Chains A and B, each alone.
Chain A
Amino acid sequence: MSFLTLMIALVFVAIPLVLSKTLHLGLERDTIVATVRSIVQLLAVGYLLQFVFDSESILYIVLMIVLMIGAATENARKKGSSIPGITWKLVVTFLFVQVLTQGILLSLNIIPATAQYIIPISGMVIGNSMVLGILFLNRFTAEVGSRHDETELILSLGGTPKQAVHRPLVTSIKASIIPTIEAQKTIGLVQLPGMMSGQIIAGADPVQAVMFQLLILFLLLTTAVITSIMLGYFSYPTLFNDRMQFIKEQSNREA
């Protein structure tokens, strides 16, 4: 594909712009910003990847992964701002998921140890881990808030903090993982996964593309489960102090 054809493809941006203007949808500004950002960001990534692939240096691979984890942490931490130390909890979680998945992939020779494989797969793993982290943190903070009476009841009867948040914790872990499992059930029936479509368009053997897609799906199951469980067990102790008191109580309880 050439730059000229890409320019022509901007007609697909022009259509929503014209419609938005005609129907007063007010989406013009956001559409233009989104288009410009996607062009700049993706082209930058493209040239960066080309550079990293050409250099064949492990240092650049590590640097790319560090950048991905940094960006994912920055995105997810806002959702967990009420949890003390959420930044390093996210960093450790992403790092662990990344090391575990790449460790298995490389040690069992499932993929070759080249930037061409490691970087895109890391991107998918860390990106999914980030989405899962956000889903989990959203749900967990909501569950803890809505089940406050149960938490207090269990503590008041002599339960430990872990027992007191067991239900919110398990519910949130399950709720954040379910979309990944559900998506997997219907995959290929309606929509071909993006990565697979891309490979097929680029000329790869469809069966090869499917096999890679399946590999990614399996990877994402592990990613989902590990992310939620790790974040859960990192997060809940920070809700309590050493006297087994719910810390939020100290600031929010009315007389």
Chain B
Amino acid sequence: MVGSGLNAKGSDSMMEDEAAIQFHEVSFATKELTILESITGFFVRGEITTLVGPSGAGKSTLFRLCNGLLSASSGDIWIDGVMIGDYEPVQLRREVGIVLQSATMMTGTVRDNLELPRALQGESLTDDEAEEYIEVVGLGKEFLTRNSHDLSGGQKQRVSIARTLVNRPKILLLDEITSSLDRVSTQEIEELIVHINQCYKTTVIWITHHLDQALQIGAYTWVMIDGELVESGPSNLLRNPENEDVRRFVKGEVE
């Protein structure tokens, strides 16, 4: 019931109800090349969906379309049943939070970074809130006064997640947030995301290179290759894929 086989938008009311993000023939192209080609499918509300595929498959571009950093060249996207173009860009970006792979830190303390989403709205973050957010991502409150540039990769990634959470997004997009981390940090972040998903009922879409991560964490999986959605469904599909390209990708023959 998930996914790519659906070709008419809104033909199934149940599908609409449970779709956090829905795509209908979404394409994205630059002057030089086509990055996404006719993506149709949806991400299930309240669940964790992993997004896997070789480099250059268009996964990050798909995220930027959902968060409104880019607009599709053609096709339609609905966020919670509302056409993406009907959102004010600022409202869309707060509701669909994105944690970027680079985990860019603004100059200043960790607390300054946590306060950034509020500061952009002309508001501030209370001390209690700052402590709450830093603890949600498993760092002690002593981190709040640390210089953000002195953090390790894993710590930056946690602060980056906490910073996005300050906007209280309904949907959380995670772009390869564990790719540069060691096994222990990766596992901790995985647990943290599962915790956030369960506690706040946040829909999570997670781009990952680790297939075992996709199998363990995500209830659902999308496999993208060369800008197309080639397979989608419960994560178990990775164990025995029908599509030949997906089979080759799972076996590690495509990178």
Contact = CB atoms under 8 A, between A and B. Distances in A.
A4 B67 CA distance: 74
A154 interface: yes
Interface in B186-205: none
B90 A152 contact: no
B100 interface: yes
B64 A157 contact: no
B59 to A, nearest CB: 8
Contact of B30 (A150, A156, A157, A251): A251
Given A150-B104, A156-B93, A250-B30, A245 B71 contact: yes
Given A157-B93, A158-B90, A255-B227, A149 B102 contact: yes
A236 interface: no
A14 to B, nearest CB: 54
A157 B67 CA distance: 9
Given A251-B31, A253-B64, A246 B69 contact: yes
A160 interface: yes
Contacts of A249: 64, 69-70
Interface stretch (B17-25, B114-122, B242-250): B114-122
Given A150-B106, A153-B100, A243 B120 contact: no
Interface string B88-100: 0111011001101
B164 interface: yes
A159 interface: yes
| Residue of B59, B90, B97 with most chain A CB atoms under a 10 A cut-off | B90
Nearest to B85: A243
A163 interface: yes
Contacts of B35: 253, 255
B56 A152 contact: no
A246 B59 CA distance: 19
Interface string A230-255: 00000000000001111001111111
Contact of B58 (A158, A160, A250, A255): A255
B4 interface: no
B89 to A, nearest CB: 4
17 contacts: A149-B100, A150-B106, A154-B116, A155-B69, A156-B67, A156-B100, A157-B117, A157-B163, A159-B120, A160-B120, A245-B69, A246-B69, A249-B69, A253-B61, A254-B56, A255-B35, A255-B57
Interface of B: 30-31, 35-36, 56-61, 64, 67-71, 89-91, 93-94, 97-98, 100, 102, 104, 106, 116-117, 120-121, 163-164, 167, 227
Interface of A: 149-150, 152-160, 163, 243-246, 249-255
Interface pairs A-B: 10 shortest CB-CB: A244-B89, A159-B120, A158-B94, A149-B104, A158-B93, A255-B35, A255-B58, A158-B90, A157-B117, A153-B104
